């Protein structure tokens, strides 16, 4: 009930802050008004192509473009395997080093954030089941001991 006492104060503060702002005042207006006080002229160069053509992607950015997660389905799984993009999806805040598992089995482990929506839940479960079925066919259940975690949507 004490919070109800503060609502009129917040409303008044909000109205005051909105009334002190001008809607049409832009940074260009501020620049023009400050230039009017001095006699400086500014020439803006908009040809950025010279600088952009000199830029080359670093090796680090080249490797990072493969870090994006592509969820597996029945149609794209073989392609993901060929491109070394097949991944288990794990949700949580902590990401462990799964590089040994990735080298041995050719499947990455991607850690996503801990927020799981119903749509992503179905997609991640399907992805993990497809990857799990592939590993079971190729390596039996040996891969489960090396992974040490249970990917999302899989049963022990």
pLDDT digits (tens, 9 = 90+) for 90-116: 988 777 888 999 999 999 998 888 888
**Contact call for residues 127 and 71 (beta carbons, < 8 A):** yes
Query: How far apart, in whole angstroms, are the C-alpha atoms of residue 142 and residue 156?
Result: 13
Supply the DSSP string of 105-147, one letter for each residue: HS-EEEEEPS---HHHHHHHHHHHHHHHHHHHHHHTTHHHHHH
DSSP state of 3: G
DSSP SS3 for 111: strand
Q: How many residues does the chain have?
A: 156
**Contact call for residues 130 and 79 (beta carbons, < 8 A):** no
Q: Where are the domains of the chain?
A: 59-147
Q: How far apart are the first and last CA of the chain?
A: 50
Residue 17 — pLDDT band, cuts 50, 70, 90?
Answer: low
Mean pLDDT of 119-144: 92
Comparing 11 with 20, which gets the higher pLDDT?
11
Mean pLDDT of 81-97: 86
């Amino acid at each position: 009930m004490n919070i109800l006492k503060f609502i009129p104060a917040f409303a008044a503060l909000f109205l005051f802050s909105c009334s002190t702002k001008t809607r049409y005042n832009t940074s260009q207006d501020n620049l023009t008004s400050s230039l009017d006080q001095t006699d400086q002229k500014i020439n803006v160069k908009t040809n950025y192509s010279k600088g952009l053509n000199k830029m080359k992607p670093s090796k680090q950015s080249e490797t990072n473009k493969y870090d994006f997660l592509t969820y597996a389905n029945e149609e794209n799984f073989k392609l993901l395997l060929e491109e070394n993009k097949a991944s288990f999806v794990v949700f949580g805040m902590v990401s462990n080093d799964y590089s040994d598992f990735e080298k041995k089995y050719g499947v990455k482990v991607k850690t996503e954030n801990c927020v799981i929506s119903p749509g992503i839940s179905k997609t991640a479960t399907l992805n993990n089941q497809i990857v799990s079925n592939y590993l079971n066919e190729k390596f039996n259940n040996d891969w489960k001991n090396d992974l040490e975690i249970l990917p999302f949507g899989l049963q022990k």
